[in-house]
Amino acid sequence: MKQRPFIVTMLALGAAFSASAKHQETVYEHYPAYDGNDLELTVDEKGTHWRLWSPAADGARVMLYPSDRNTAAVDTIEMTKSIDGTWIASVPEKLYGSFYTFSILDRGKWLAETPGVWAKAVGTNGERAAIIDFATTNPSGWDKDRGPKIDHINDAVIYEMHHRDFSQHPSSGIVNKGKFLALTEPSTNNGMGESTGISHLKELGVTHVHILPSYDYNSVDESNLASNGYNWGYDPFNYNAPEGSYSTNPSDPSVRVKEMKEMVKNLHDNGIGVIMDVVYNHTANNDDSNFSLTAPGYYYRHRPDGSYSDASGCGNETASERQQMRDFIINSVRYWAEEYHIDGFRFDLMAIHDIETMNLVAKALKEINPDIFIYGEGWTAGDSPLPVEQRALKENVSKMPQIAVFSDDIRDAIKGHYTDASDRGFATGKPGLEETVKIGIVGATAHPQIDYSKGNNSKFAYASAPTQVINYVSCHDDLMLTDKLRKSMPDASEKERQRAARLAQTIVLTSQGTPFIFAGEEIFRDKKGIHNSYKSPDSINAIDWSLKNYNKEQFEYYRELIRLRKNHPAFRMTTAEQVAKHLKFDNVKEPNLISYSIVDNANGDEWKEIKLIFNGSDRARTVKIPKGQWTVIANDGKINASGMGVSSGGKVDVAPCSALILALKK
């Protein structure tokens, strides 16, 4: 979701609220919450049971169906009022294979049918919830399946991808294009000898894939997959069931569950973790959402006049501070972690949620698996009634010790501001951004050599530890790196732009914090200059894998850069104290030049000292470094993690728009 600049206005809530709207908000806070684990559907030896949370309803029903759509109900069961705002119904049979919806009586009117908010299996377009036996959906060996073990989030190298981008192009050589199953096919290639799919990920060396929303979203018509609809999926419909268009048969509710698990299993078998992009901050619909149709009004925040407030920029925002919504988020991520073995969660517009909820999310997930990590966008897309100090903002991340936030500081400083296509950054020759890049290099932690008042985005060290920051220069939002370089360097050659991309990613991959790259950057893909491709066709979004041949050197540079990072714990320090002690900036004055060392076998590194010099200008620079037996790791747009020659130090030349990395082994 796009970050939009906005001015925070503190609402004078008490004064501005109309009497009735304020009354209604207070009423929501007094709804009883239900914390049992049997919400909506359970099947056991005694039969099939429903329990719907809807405290203000005057009645509730379950409708039973023989199929996922276009059939009449075979039964309508009146629900009876139970504890804590819930309504219950039961039948003595296990109704596997059937479908159901709920409807509630609200102020004298039966509302439209809904699959509820806890549908874990659904049919076409998620219209009806399905009753399936989850034990039958597990791939063989599932009980022993486990994601990669990592000690800290910054041991991860994250690769952000969309199912369709990654496999849809004919050159992917993948059979199940655009599907979960694309990531189960071994040894695929582009027909020109270069690997694609899982083999490509392994070759590149990334540790985790962050996949754009994979829960059931609204916009792609699952009944007409031949139309090749495309969407990023930031329009949630059923939060607890997989998206049907990524399955081979959206009408069979078990298929999407099975195929998503197969994907996770195959990635895990290849040592790669799976991160889910979750969007609890808003829903695709307002009054017609599953939240609104089960408990009208409750799950959302409102303006003083009673209308939906809109910090998401998508028409509404959810209310994580209310108990049942808070529990919903926590139980939903727990469900994905336990049922689907998900290894990490990326929270869209995380600052719409409150800090306490995010801390409870982290606690619940770490109890399931301490290797699970959580990061998110530490901003909103508009103002919110939630007070600023309660928001899970980037600036508040020190209050969320187990959570990381995206560093827009390093992103905008390296390549230029996201709101202006032609704006350049440190790596493309714009002076004055050195201090902001340095803020990125130290993972936004307090450092004695950094003057945060010179920071472009943040004016203080917001991270308590480098593990709280995600470093990146490009993602699905805004112009991806290739397009940004084309627009901001219109007179440069493609070779020069590729060189700038290498410098940009070298800064990211060697910085303290967790690196994150966007799928296809490693082969210099583009999106034809489209900055908001959320519903653009495959011709814009699909990765052309033949680029792996044409841009082979670019790929090899990325692969070697990732290998360097993974081999060297010096790039992965875990405390602010370590960074302040071991990372020393050199006193260089020229614009677009940064020189620093990581010293004294930092974080247990085998190398005594690593010298990194970044030259973002279009001229060669000379920098004086101590004399010694330096091994050259990167120089003049080339890199080799094992070394490629030696340097005796002293005056060293740094080629235009490139990184010089040297290692002192003892």
Nearer to Ca ion, 244 or 520 (CB): 244
User: Distances from the Cα of 126 to the Cαs of 68, 247, 408, 461, in angstroms?
Assistant: 9, 13, 35, 44
∠ Cα 325 218 335 (to 5°): 45
| Contact present, 342 and 274 (Cβ < 8 Å) | yes
Whole-number minimum distance, CB 126 to Ca ion, in Å? 5
H or E element, residue 290: helix 290-294
Rama region for 455: left / alpha / beta (φ>0; ψ in -120 to 50; rest): beta
Nearer to Ca ion, 183 or 241 (CB): 241
User: Distances from the Cα of 154 to the Cαs of 365, 562, 572, 604, 651, in angstroms?
Assistant: 18, 13, 6, 15, 33
Name the 3-class secondary structure at 644: coil
Q: Tokens 């037996």 label which residue?
A: 629
Q: From residue 238 to residue 277, what is the string marking binding to Ca ion with x (rule CB under 5 A)?
A: ------x---------------------------------
User: Distances from the Cα of 477 to the Cαs of 232, 434, 484, in angstroms?
Assistant: 10, 24, 12
d(CA 666, CA 659): 22
| Contact present, 483 and 501 (Cβ < 8 Å) | no
C-alpha distance across the termini of the chain, in Å: 46
The number of beta carbons lying within 10 Å of the beta carbon of residue 53 is: 27
H or E element, residue 465: none
Nearer to Ca ion, 240 or 498 (CB): 240
d(CA 463, CA 398): 6
Whole-number minimum distance, CB 216 to Ca ion, in Å? 4
Reported in sequence order, the residue ranges of 552-608 that DSSP labels E, i.e. its strands, are 583-585, 593-598
Which residues make Cβ contacts (< 8 Å) with residue 268, sequence separation at least 6?
Answer: 145, 146, 147, 148, 274, 341
Whole-number minimum distance, CB 490 to Ca ion, in Å? 40
DSSP string, 398-454: GG-TTEEEE-HHHHHHHH--TT-TT---GGGT-TT-HHHHHHHHTTT---TT--GGG
Nearer to Ca ion, 538 or 586 (CB): 538
Buried b (16+ CB within 10 A) or exposed e, 65-78: beebeeeebeeebe
Whole-number minimum distance, CB 326 to Ca ion, in Å? 25
Whole-number minimum distance, CB 218 to Ca ion, in Å? 6
Catalytic site includes residue 262: no
Whole-number minimum distance, CB 361 to Ca ion, in Å? 24
d(CA 452, CA 259): 48
d(CA 225, CA 241): 18
Q: Tokens 């695929």 label which residue?
A: 188
Name the 3-class secondary structure at 288: coil
Q: Tokens 């699959």 label which residue?
A: 115
Whole-number minimum distance, CB 220 to Ca ion, in Å? 6
Residues 379-418 close enough to bind Ca ion by CB under 5 A? none
Nearer to Ca ion, 76 or 228 (CB): 228
Whole-number minimum distance, CB 165 to Ca ion, in Å? 18
For Ca ion, which residue has the nearest CB?
Answer: 216
Q: From residue 108 to residue 137, what is the string marking binding to Ca ion with x (rule CB under 5 A)?
A: ------------------------------
Whole-number minimum distance, CB 300 to Ca ion, in Å? 21
Q: From residue 204 to residue 243, what is the string marking binding to Ca ion with x (rule CB under 5 A)?
A: ------------x---------------------------
Catalytic site includes residue 327: no
Nearer to Ca ion, 250 or 637 (CB): 250
Nearer to Ca ion, 244 or 656 (CB): 244
**Is residue 310 near Ca ion by the rule CB under 5 A?**
no
Q: Which of 348, 408, 483, 522 is catalytic?
A: 348
Nearer to Ca ion, 244 or 569 (CB): 244
Whole-number minimum distance, CB 261 to Ca ion, in Å? 18
**How many of the chain's residues bind Ca ion (CB under 5 A)?**
2
∠ Cα 173 141 340 (to 5°): 75
d(CA 599, CA 399): 30
Residue type, 182: A
Whole-number minimum distance, CB 243 to Ca ion, in Å? 5
Nearer to Ca ion, 102 or 239 (CB): 239
Reported in sequence order, the residue ranges of 246-329 that DSSP labels E, i.e. its strands, are 273-278
d(CA 298, CA 318): 9
The number of beta carbons lying within 10 Å of the beta carbon of residue 562 is: 22
Q: Which of 377, 409, 412, 521 is catalytic?
A: 377
Nearer to Ca ion, 239 or 524 (CB): 239
Name the 3-class secondary structure at 356: helix
Nearer to Ca ion, 194 or 216 (CB): 216
Whole-number minimum distance, CB 242 to Ca ion, in Å? 9
Nearer to Ca ion, 123 or 296 (CB): 123
d(CA 650, CA 548): 38
Contact footprint for Ca ion (CB under 5 A): 216, 244
Residues with catalytic function = 348, 377
